[in-house]
Structure 1
Amino acid sequence: MANESWGRRIARWVLMACYAVAGVGHLVLTDAMVRIVPPMVPFARAVVIVTGLCELAGVIALSTSRWRRAAGWALAAYALCVWPANMYHAVLDLSSGTGLPLAYHAPRLLLQPLIIWWALWASGAADRWLGRQAPPRQP
């Protein structure tokens, strides 16, 4: 977008990089990811693969002016929906004493609202909430 600030552009590209790494991680480290899926989630392997593909689709959509805002909403919703799985992962690791430490899980869980806001702000999806006119989409 022509009138987009450098800060927002950089925030969007960093967000895209984070989601790209996460998406590839879901596809490459599928077995490890399956182990931390809550038992109530059916077809855990398929869910891990599909969520990785969704993250990568979000990255592609964020890179376009046409789909950017929709991607922001989708990635914010995604971050909200995986929050319970992140909590389950923390409980699993901390209760067994064999997983990742609290130093990993606490920031991850506490930063989840920031990640949600980041997706909304970096994509321009939150502009209307902030009373800003969203820039027109470019073809």
Structure 2
Amino acid sequence: MFYSKFVLAFFLIAAGISHFVRPYFFMKIMPDYIPFHLKMVYLSGLVEILCGILLLFPETQKLGAYLCIALLIAVFPANIEMARKFYLIHHKYFWLTVLRLPLQLVLIWWAYQFRK
């Protein structure tokens, strides 16, 4: 369990960095009802990086876990939107977007383990 928090932190930090490297990929999957797409992509990337960093230290691990859970719940609609859009255009990786939804629930459970 000790090493798994470092794995989760690495994934969060890497995902957060990717928001700054390829922001237009993330903008395409955002639901239309969310305003300021580019700013929201950067904000969610920054929060992902922050979550990963907070998980690394015992003093901030609990805050990082709860922030990570909140973030994963907040971005869930974007993953649903991505699956919907991939379905509509018959994208060959539609099935991966569908698998991403239960995976996100696993990530929420995983982050929940570090709230102690």
Q: TM-score, normalised by structure 1?
A: 0.79
Match of 2:63 in 1: 70
Q: CA deviation at 1:21?
A: 1.4
Q: Aligned AA for 2:89?
A: S
Distance 1:32 1:114 in 2: 23
Match of 2:97 in 1: 105
Q: In the alignment, which of 25, 33, 40 is matched to residue 32 of structure 1?
A: 25
Distance 1:77 1:40 in 2: 19
Structure 2 unaligned segments of length 5 or more: list them: none
Contact 2:13 2:53 in 1 (8 A): no
Task: Give RMSD over aligned pairs.
Answer: 1.2
How many residue pairs match? The answer is 116
Q: CA deviation at 1:106?
A: 2.2
Contact 1:94 1:100 in 2 (8 A): no
Distance 2:57 2:88 in 1: 43
Distance 2:41 2:73 in 1: 16
Structure 1 unaligned segments of length 5 or more: list them: 1-7, 128-139
Distance 2:98 2:28 in 1: 20
Q: In the alignment, which of 44, 50, 60 is matched to residue 57 of structure 1?
A: 50
What's the secondary structure of 1:111's corresponding residue? helix
Moved >6 Å (runs of 4+): none
Match of 1:119 in 2: 111
Higher Rg: 1
Q: CA deviation at 1:99?
A: 6.1
Structure with greater helix percent? 2
* Identity within the alignment, %: 26
Distance 1:11 1:76 in 2: 16
